[in-house]
Structure formats: structure tokens, C-alpha cells
Amino acid sequence: MAIKDGKDYLYLIWKCASNRRQYIVGQLTKNGQYEFQYCEEIEEALEAGFTPLVSFERLNVVYKSETLFPVFASRLPDRKRKDIKKILKKYGLEEYDSYQLLKKSGAKLPIDNLQFIDPILNYESDFEKLFYVAGARHYLGCEGNQCSKAIQVTRGDEVFLEHEVDNPYDENAIRIVNEQQKTLGYVPRYYSQAFVKFIEEGRVEDCHVANVAKENCCDECIGVVIKITELKK
């Protein structure tokens, strides 16, 4: 799904602390060698306060390496950790693969607002996409506190997607609601354009809660999995 022209893609996302918006600032690809370059929304991100990575200060350069760039590899758990097997199991990996671990985990760190995501590049095939609901703590009213009381959904609950065509901030905004029509949050901005297309094509077959965390995991408290059917020609 993230394969294009023989390359496996990951997008680097930066979340602005002031406006909470997520920007696609770069792309990392793998095809024999690794390549990184800034892309799409880098100019907007710079205006919002993003600072180019120390290892990649030039904006219009395609950086290449035979191994995973150290600045990204350093975001991953050390393969020598005693609990590394448990970590790999969490992300469905049987052995340590830096690129796959980067893709599965997102490589988020508490010291910055960066993460990697697995983009949607193939719009025609059937697939399942798992992601965490954006803005959940705001719409649930907990703001990171009393999560066990605020989060009233459980694994397996059906949820629904509603395209907010009149949203003043994002024409592709997709609200996620439960059976009682209570807003849980939104589809992450970096996926919303693709999901608007899937909704319009009637290809959203199933949407339900995959996991719930009630331990102050504000950015990862509600995981949702959505099944998309193949485009009929």
C-alpha cells in the first residue's frame, strides 16, 4: 500500500505545538538504498515553526544512504534491550528490522513532535488501515486527565465516519462518531483526503475500535481500524 515505483515509502510528520496541525514534512524511501527528502508541506511547516533536521539542513536535496540514516535509527529501541522481543511482538515483528520497526512504531519520542506514518499510495486495492483517532482528548473532554471515565468505548465497538464538507479549517475533515453520535475525534489529517475519496466511492466496509488505552496516552488512546474494499472498474 505504501509501495510506489518499486520504492517503499514512509512520511515524516511534524505536529505544531501551537496550532496542533500535523504537517507532512518529509519522505523516507527504501529500495536497495535509503533516500530522504523534504516534501509537500515543508514551506507551511517552516512558517509554523518547524526547524529542519540537523542532518538534513538543505531543503532541496535528496539525501542517500546504504543504511538507515542514524538520525532515524537512533529513534528506535536498542536491539540489545532485554525486552526487545516484547517490543517486536507488540508491532507484529518476529525479528529486528529497523525499517519495519520505524514503519510499525512511528518512532515517536517525548523530546519532539515528529513521527513516521505509513502513507496511502495505492487507492484502488482493498486494505485495512489502523490509526489513532486525532483530537480525542479534546472531544472527550478529559484533556489527558481521568481517561478511564472519559473514554466510553471498548474494543470491537462500531464507529462511523462523517465527512464535514463545511469544516472551515479543512475541507477533507472526517469526524469519527460512535453509535450515539458522540464525537470521538477525527481521522488524522494526513489520511483524510484519501478517506474522503473512499467514502464518496462507497468503499468503507467496516470501521471499529481496535484498541483502547486509558493510561494518559493522549495521542494513542483510541485506535481505529477501517476496512476498504477494492475499487470496482
Query: Does residue 103 lie in a domain region?
Result: yes
Burial 157-196, CB ≥16 within 10 A → b, else e = bebebebbeeeeeeebbbbbeeeeeebbbbbbbbbbebbb
Q: Are residues 60 and 163 in the same domain?
A: no
Domain boundary pick from 66, 96, 117: 117
Domain that holds residue 166: 127-228
Query: Does residue 233 lie in a domain region?
Result: no
Burial 25-63, CB ≥16 within 10 A → b, else e = bbbbbbeeebbbbbeebbeebeebebeebeebeeeeeeb
Q: Are residues 36 and 112 in the same domain?
A: yes
Q: Are residues 63 and 150 in the same domain?
A: no
Q: Are residues 66 and 113 in the same domain?
A: yes
Query: Does residue 113 lie in a domain region?
Result: yes
* 19-30 confidence digits (pLDDT tens): 888 999 999 999
Q: Which long-range contacts (CB under 8 A, 24 or more apart) does 77-86 make?
A: 77/101
Torsion-angle region of 106 (φ positive above 0: left; ψ -120 to 50: alpha; else: beta): left
* 52-80 confidence digits (pLDDT tens): 999 999 999 999 999 999 999 999 999 99
Q: Are residues 7 and 113 in the same domain?
A: yes
Q: Are residues 48 and 131 in the same domain?
A: no
Among residues 204, 203, 206, which one has the least CA distance to residue 231? 203
Q: Are residues 131 and 103 in the same domain?
A: no
Query: Does residue 76 lie in a domain region?
Result: yes
Q: Which residues of the chain have pLDDT under 50?
A: none
Q: Are residues 110 and 140 in the same domain?
A: no
Q: What is the pLDDT of residue 144?
A: 57
Instruction: Please give the tally of structural domains in the chain.
Output: 2
Q: Are residues 29 and 105 in the same domain?
A: yes
Burial of 228 (0-12, 13-18, 19+ CB in 10 A): buried
The fraction of the chain above a pLDDT of 70, given in percent, is 91
CA angle 132, 185, 217 (to 5 degrees): 45
Question: What pTM was computed for the model?
Answer: 0.86
Domain boundary pick from 98, 117, 136: 117
Query: Does residue 122 lie in a domain region?
Result: no
Q: What is the pLDDT of residue 94?
A: 93
The CATH number that applies at residue 224 is: 3.30.70.2330
